[in-house]
Amino acid sequence: MNSVESAKYRKHLEEGGVPPQQATAHADALGEVLENLTQTLATKDWVHMQLQDLKFDMVKWMLGLFITLFLAQTGVTIGAVVTILRYLPR
């Protein structure tokens, strides 16, 4: 919270009947909490970077799965052809 907002908040508390010392303490405490909160919140850039990493991981897993399934299907097809050829009359 910047000094203008802090002064407005303090004035608002004092107008509501809060003693000046308490109003100052409340305004300072709220300012510290808001400052710490803004430092720990996720930014759009951070979220965007995390989503890019997630997309890359998803593509990597999907490609690996596709290759695995392709190889498995190829193995099954070759096995089926070999089995059929073994039982054909010569």
Residue 48 and residue 89 share a domain: yes
Residue 54 and residue 26 share a domain: no
**Into how many domains does the chain fold?**
2
Residue 79 and residue 58 share a domain: yes
Residue 36 and residue 2 share a domain: yes
Query: What DSSP character marks residue 42?
Result: P
Residue 60 makes CB contacts below 8 A (sequence gap 6+) with: none
Query: For residue range 31-41, what is the model confidence (pLDDT) as tens digits?
Result: 888 888 877 88
Residue 12 and residue 1 share a domain: yes
Residue 85 and residue 48 share a domain: yes
Query: For residue range 56-88, what is the model confidence (pLDDT) as tens digits?
Result: 999 999 999 999 999 999 999 999 999 999 998
Residue 87 and residue 71 share a domain: yes
As a dihedral over the C-alpha atoms of residue 68, residue 69, residue 73, residue 75, rounded to 10 degrees, the angle is: 20
As a dihedral over the C-alpha atoms of residue 43, residue 44, residue 49, residue 55, rounded to 10 degrees, the angle is: 130
- Using pLDDT thresholds of 50, 70 and 90, give the confidence band for residue 2: low
Residue-number span of the structural domain to which 12 is assigned: 1-41
What local confidence, expressed as pLDDT, does residue 71 receive? 97
